[in-house]
Amino acid sequence: MPKLSINIGILLVILGFFSYIATDMVSLTALIPSLFGFVFIGLGLLAKKSDNLQKHSMHAAVLLALLGLGGSFTGLRQIISALLGGDMPERFTAAASQAVMAVLCILFVILGVKSFIDARKAKKG
């Protein structure tokens, strides 16, 4: 899980910088995925550094992913709507960036919960 946290974090940092560039470096909010990414990276590194902190760090990372999903779900909904024949989002770059962030956060939550379940089963058995 720590490696996944770091990798998702790197992808979010890249997403934020590309989004910022795509908005002609005018909208600082385009960097929000990067901020989330840096926190994911930090939590992943903290988990790798200390076995005692791994469980707590990864729980915090899943919580962070849930917060990121909550903040970016609108963009995912707008992109899906556009793909299904609805109107194109007014700020397409923002919606696309939010959609990618939402997908990465969903992926992290699913894999994180699976990891927690697997760890609990391994501990019992």
Residues 101-118: what's their mean pLDDT?
Answer: 95
Q: At residue 21, what is the residue type?
A: I
Q: What does the angle CA 111 – CA 13 – CA 39 come to, to the nearest 5 degrees?
A: 65
Q: State the CB neighbour count (10 A cutoff) for residue 58.
A: 23
Distance CA 73, CA 100 (A): 10
* Whole-number pLDDT of residue 35: 97
CA atoms within 13 A on the CB side of 90: 1
Digit-coded pLDDT (tens) for 48-107: 998 889 999 999 999 999 999 999 999 999 999 999 998 899 899 999 999 999 999 999
The pLDDT of residue 51 is 82
Helix axes 2-22, 51-83, angle to 10 degrees: 40
pLDDT at 33: 96
How large a percentage of the chain has pLDDT more than 90?
76
Question: Tokens in use for 123?
Answer: 């501990």
Q: What's the pLDDT score for residue 119?
A: 84
Q: Where in the chain are the domains? A: 2-124
pTM for the complete prediction?
Answer: 0.90
Short-list 90, 94, 91, CA closest to 28 = 94
User: What's the mean per-residue pLDDT of the chain?
Assistant: 93
Length of the chain, in residues: 125
